[in-house]
Structure 1
Amino acid sequence: MPELTETLNDGQQRVQAALDQVLPDPALTPSRLHEAMRYAALTPGKRLRPFLVYQAGALFGETGAVLDAPACAVEMIHAYSLIHDDLPAMDDDDLRRGQPTCHRAFDEATAILAGDALQALAFRLLAEPGLLDAGRRIRMVEELARAVGSRGMAGGQAMDLAAVGRQPDIAELEDMHIHKTGALILASLRLGALCAPHALEADAQAALDRFGHCIGLAFQVQDDILDVTGDANHTGKTSGADARRDKITYPGLIGLEESRRFAAELRDEAMDALTRFGQAGDTLRSLADYIIQRDH
């Protein structure tokens, strides 16, 4: 996937530069908190969520600077969620993106505050007057808030913690991941589409939502597979952690091969959702394939 790799790299560099501009200068008080925010948000990663903002915008005719604020916002929310997920009270991880987790690099209290501050800054970016009218900015804030709250990412994490030591069925596992992982992925696509010059037709929005639902779930299935098969040198996080914590995963529930089959099925459904967009959807189709083939 050489073309996709180049496009992913371009998106990563673009959002990295934008994040560097909007994150607080570590020279400003409180400097340790600002250092922790930058540590968590600027550590190199896949930048999948900002990439989805950029690609959804491009799908509907927008590629300009108007996409940078929502791209930064979703990456800050993602960084905040990783900081809090890694805490001793949650998943208690020591490694993230190949580096010490935020609470290990700094301390637990600073990490909690860094996550809180990144979340607040994400919403401030969307609310600030700029290239979008107030109505669309409000819709963006609403979309992101829904994705982050109790009916989205935070709720999914609560479901995950509640399932430790139990044996939920496949429907419960899917519902958990739709909230925990899928909600922010879907919101990233919606935020990018909201930057488009014209309002989306209902069938276009439905197709984009279907694509987002499928790749969000496929991403989590592949993450579960990598927790079993991945090398920490590639994944950038501790392998086998889910099993050690007695957390339910797709391979643990339906087996490794069936998990791979399910991920491929979700990939195919995601690609099918893009049919109405013709060649304009090719990059997102390639991304759907990449999601289930990645090794990190």
Structure 2
Amino acid sequence: MSRASLASLPATPPVLAEFDELLKMRELLLAEPDEATASAVMRRFWDICCGTTDPERVGVLEAAPQYAVLRAFFSVRWGIHLRRLETLASREILADASATDLSAASMLALENYRGIDGELDLLGESPAHNAVVLGCGPFPETLIGLQHSALVGESLTGVDRNHEAVALADAMTRRLCAPRPTVTITHADAEGVDFPAFDLVVVANGLTGKTRLLDRIHRTAPPGVRVLVRNPTLLARMLYDHVDPGPRSGWRVTERRATTALSETLLLERGEHA
């Protein structure tokens, strides 16, 4: 949406006053500030999301005409910002010859990594043979967490459509993962992957088209496949695609758990399409 069409939106009512700051932040980023200023704006944006915890108020915000404009803009900017942070974190670790874990990573990446333990608890004590992480990113904390968990017996595959992310994820897993299970990083779009070889699929929060992706997994994965889907909550739905698998989707939500301040993870088991 252009600045002219944005200006034509109805004035922000008092109950939605926080949108005033978000719209100003959008204008600042459109002016292409230096990297430090852009990062500070994104950190402030994240603070606003984390500080808006009343579900009723979030519903009001999502119904406002400004919401679609802001979501279209900030979801793209947030993806760029997060990938930059994770890229820097991986490079920092790889540059340190003595690094043997993720402790050198940025705080944001570490918060995501600490959420993995809760996700793996959803799997109970039932191991998988072959797992794939869709949208593994340049900082492959999920692959590393799975590898260290001993919940995957044969192979782990990371998928990302960004060439730099694939190269960094490959270097990170070579540095930080043991020889078994085998870890492979693949350059591909998640929506182009077929899943007959995988009995565990992890869907990253940052992926778009999650509903289409779940349909593809349902069509091509083997019986008994389990899927962990990261799902945004509250104002994080402005940043990431939200999915709500119902009976018609062919998936049963068997468990869900809040894993970070603005994200939950769903454990899905395959049913039949209605």
- With the length of structure 2 as denominator, give the TM-score of the two structures: 0.30
Highest CA radius of gyration, 1 or 2? 2
Higher strand share: 2
Higher helix share: 1
